[in-house]
Amino acid sequence: METGDTAPAFTLDDETGNPRSLDELLEAGPVVLFFYPQAMTAGCTAEACHFRDLAADFKAVGATPVGISHDSVDRQAAFAQKHSFGYPLLSDPEGKVAEAFDVRRRLGIVGTKRKTFVIGQDRKILGAFKSELNMNAHADKALELLQGA
């Protein structure tokens, strides 16, 4: 999945166990869907907290950050509660959505690559960013794209 592609429709449970579809999330405006390898790890915590810290900026451009990983609903709930994210964390335990977005790893213990997609209300991907090491790059680049759009 890259810029210009149509994001696949999906429904996954959020950190509260409620099913959330991409189409439903897009009703409020663009979605910044960020895939991360594992909740509660140092890098993923830094990335997710940076999205949280920019919440007002994302709100100002009408966008909603949404995190997604292979973690269970319970682990996502603990992660969200510990850091007060204020945005949905989706559980993709079988990696089906990660596979559809081509961010599933074939080897290793970490099942998901770190990649962010800015998705317009028509499900078109407006931008895609990847960096395994710069945890702030995902939110910063997504916000920059949305502010310039």
State both tokens at 116: 């962010």
Look up 44 and say whether it is catalytic: yes
> pLDDT (tens digit, 0 to 9) for every residue of the chain, 149 residues total?
889 999 999 999 999 999 999 999 999 999 999 999 999 988 899 999 999 999 999 999 999 999 999 999 999 999 999 999 999 999 999 999 999 999 987 665 566 888 999 999 999 999 999 887 788 889 999 999 999 95
Catalytic member of 44, 89, 118, 142: 44
Query: What are the φ and ψ backbone dihedral angles of 118, each rounded to 5 degrees?
Result: -95, 120
Residue pLDDT, tens place only, 2-13: 899 999 999 999
Strand partners for 131: none
